[in-house]
């Protein structure tokens, strides 16, 4: 057995190049008509296997990092780290290790080759996902403002390479940011079809940084929808309907991928905003269905814009009801965030729900209520070519006027420059660190 082999791993799904479950299914439907019955049966068997979300494999190396336009996996673990080292080489070596380990884990291998030569040292991998399969794991890395300058210090000689688009986010109306859930020098987003696979990836990478960095915050998230349908967030509405199409490279170039104009090393990367948005689910659940729909400007069950029938019907901000009032209310979430209200700006949202147990709440005055409330909501994640024309103006409008604000509070925030994908043999961010 080579040192790469994981004990109890029945087969090596990663090496067989399984397709994404959804893509495989689509392909089989298209190809079916032209093939013989036998071939069809074989194909169906193959696709039934590849449709197992635990066997899905996403490429790690490539022009862009995974986990950005990748169809959304069911789970995420996102984390941000503060660098404590003063050595530029430490950072480079860490990124090399991270790149290699992320590539290995996305193939269902341990983070580093397991060494069976003895039990007198810690194992290179915690071992908790041995045999589980790749589960469509993607690992996405990002650089926060603190990598470039921290407390006015140019720690790693990178200050002059900070892209203008990597702005410190302004304070928005209603922000209640908690320092321990905000910011970070380095960002790791692991997405997978299994919660343990996602957490495992971040945990191994964090461990490789012992002595070089500390973990600032970590957050698990989930989001499941029926296959090939838009998933619903905890408010019960379909979330992601009116995203720019990830299958259209033109739209992605226009809205999501950064250009070289600002910082050549970011070409093919993206800027990512993360907001931890707490939702008072107890309050929301008491609201009439019709009011909930007014808040979003969409029908709850079909997901259609108000007054329309189907989820993907056009959002027509000029549509009026029989009394001449706007069909999509003035302060609804969809009207305020739509491109027509934001100079054509669009962002790619790839958010997850979170559910972090409960808090206990006691009033010290009559009627002395004692309640347990959920700490749950949305880990809002949005990718864009430039936050100054994307998230910032859109959220400025939402923070002031969105009816949804009665139910939501932004408690965490971060912004990162996620560089382009790495070529095999190189590492994430290599262009930033090249002289
Ligand atoms: C808890 C917080 C939030 C929830 C539950 C939420 C939920 C939704 C839902 C249900 C939709 C309609 C379906 C869709 O097109 O995806 C939507 C649309 C949208 N949201 Fe949010 N959202 C939240 C926060 C935000 C924030 C902070 C921003 C950005 C600053 C944002 C930007 C957008 C955009 C751009 C659209 C598409 C609007 C359109 O063009 O029709 N959302 N959101």
What pLDDT, in 10s, does the model give residues 356-384?
999 998 888 888 888 899 999 999 999 99
What pLDDT score was predicted for residue 121? Answer: 87
Cβ neighbours for 83, distance < 8 A, ≥ 6 positions apart: 91, 146, 147, 150, 155, 185, 186, 212, 213
Cβ neighbours for 415, distance < 8 A, ≥ 6 positions apart: 144, 145, 166, 167, 168, 169, 271, 272, 273, 274, 387
Question: What are the respective helix, strand and coil percentages of the chain, to the nearest 5?
Answer: 30, 20, 50
Residues 160 and 26 in one domain: no
Residues 364 and 407 in one domain: yes
What pLDDT score was predicted for residue 16? Answer: 34
Q: At what angle do helices 21-32 and 37-50 cross, to 10 degrees?
A: 170
Counting from 1 in the atom list of ligand 1, the atom nearest the Cα of 275 is 27
Residues in the chain: 435
Residue 12 clears pLDDT 70, i.e. is over it: no
CA of 76 to the centre of ligand 1 (A): 19
Backbone φ, ψ for residue 294 (5° rounding): -65, -40
**pTM above threshold 0.95:** no
Residues 162 and 306 in one domain: yes
393 sits in which H/E element: helix 391-401
Residue 27 clears pLDDT 70, i.e. is over it: no
Residues 414 and 323 in one domain: yes
Number of structural domains (the chain) is 2
Residues 218 and 326 in one domain: yes
Which tops the pLDDT comparison, 320 or 21?
Answer: 320
Strand runs labelled E in 97-223? 138-143, 186-192, 213-222
Residues 247 and 327 in one domain: yes
Residues 37 and 92 in one domain: no
Q: Is 147 part of any domain?
A: yes
Residues 39 and 102 in one domain: no
Q: How confident is the model at residue 319 (pLDDT cuts 50, 70, 90)?
A: very high
Q: Is 11 part of any domain?
A: no
- Beta-ladder partners of 358: 374
Q: Is 16 part of any domain?
A: no
CA gap 324, 80 in Å, rounded: 49
For residues 43-75, b (16+ Cβ closer than 10 Å) or e, as one string? beeebeebbebbbbbbebbeebbbbbbbbbbbb
Residues within 6 Å of ligand 1 by CB: 233, 235, 237-242, 275, 277, 279, 296, 298, 315, 333-334, 337-339, 347, 349, 377-378, 380, 391, 394-395, 398, 408
Residues 30 and 114 in one domain: no
Which residue range(s) make up the domain with 27?
21-51
Residues 179 and 39 in one domain: no
Residues 47 and 82 in one domain: no
The per-residue pLDDT of the chain, averaged, comes to 90
What pLDDT score was predicted for residue 133? Answer: 97
Percent of the chain exceeding pLDDT 90 equals 82
What pLDDT score was predicted for residue 23? Answer: 39
What pLDDT score was predicted for residue 50? Answer: 55
What pLDDT score was predicted for residue 26? Answer: 35
**Closest CA relative to residue 9, chosen from 193, 132, 134:** 132
What pLDDT score was predicted for residue 36? Answer: 47
Residues 245 and 231 in one domain: yes
């Amino acid at each position: 057995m080579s040192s790469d082999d994981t004990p109890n791993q029945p087969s090596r799904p990663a090496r067989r190049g399984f397709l994404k479950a959804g893509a495989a299914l689509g392909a089989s439907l298209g190809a079916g008509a032209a093939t013989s019955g036998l071939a069809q049966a074989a194909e169906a068997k193959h696709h039934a296997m590849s449709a197992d979300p635990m066997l899905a494999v996403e490429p790690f190396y490539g022009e862009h990092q995974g986990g950005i336009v990748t169809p959304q996996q069911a789970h995420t673990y996102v984390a941000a780290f503060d660098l404590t080292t003063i050595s530029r080489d430490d950072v480079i070596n860490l990124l090399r290790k991270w790149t290699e380990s992320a590539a290995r884990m996305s193939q269902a291998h341990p983070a580093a080759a397991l060494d069976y030569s003895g039990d007198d040292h810690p194992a290179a991998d915690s071992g908790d996902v041995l045999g589980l399969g790749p589960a469509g794991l993607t690992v996405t890395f990002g650089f926060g403002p603190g990598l470039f300058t921290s407390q006015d210090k140019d720690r790693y000689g990178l200050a002059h390479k900070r892209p203008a688009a990597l702005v410190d986010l302004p304070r928005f109306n209603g922000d209640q940011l908690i320092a321990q859930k905000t910011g970070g020098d380095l960002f790791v987003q692991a997405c997978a079809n299994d919660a343990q696979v996602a957490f495992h990836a971040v945990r191994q990478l964090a461990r490789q940084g012992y002595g070089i960095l500390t973990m600032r915050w970590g957050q698990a998230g989930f989001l499941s929808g029926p296959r090939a349908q838009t998933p619903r967030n905890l408010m019960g509405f379909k979330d992601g309907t009116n995203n720019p199409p990830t299958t259209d490279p033109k739209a992605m170039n226009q809205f999501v991928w950064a250009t070289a104009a600002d910082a050549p090393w970011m070409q093919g990367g993206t800027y990512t905003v993360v907001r931890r948005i707490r939702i008072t689910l107890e309050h929301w659940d008491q609201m009439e269905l019709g009011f909930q729909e007014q808040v979003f400007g969409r029908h709850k069950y079909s997901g259609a814009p108000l007054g329309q029938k189907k989820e993907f019907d056009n959002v027509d901000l000029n549509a009026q009801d029989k009394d001449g009032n706007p069909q999509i209310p003035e302060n609804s979430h969809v009207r305020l965030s739509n491109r027509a209200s934001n100079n054509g700006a669009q962002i790619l949202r790839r958010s997850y729900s979170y559910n972090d147990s409960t808090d206990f709440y006691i009033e010290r005055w009559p009627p002395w209520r004692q309640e347990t409330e959920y700490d749950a909501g949305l880990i809002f994640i949005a990718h864009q070519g430039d936050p100054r024309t994307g998230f910032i103006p859109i959220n400025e409008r939402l923070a002031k006027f969105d009816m949804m604000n009665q139910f939501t509070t932004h408690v965490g925030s971060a912004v990162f420059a996620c560089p382009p994908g790495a070529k095999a043999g190189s590492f994430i961010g290599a262009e930033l660190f090249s002289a």
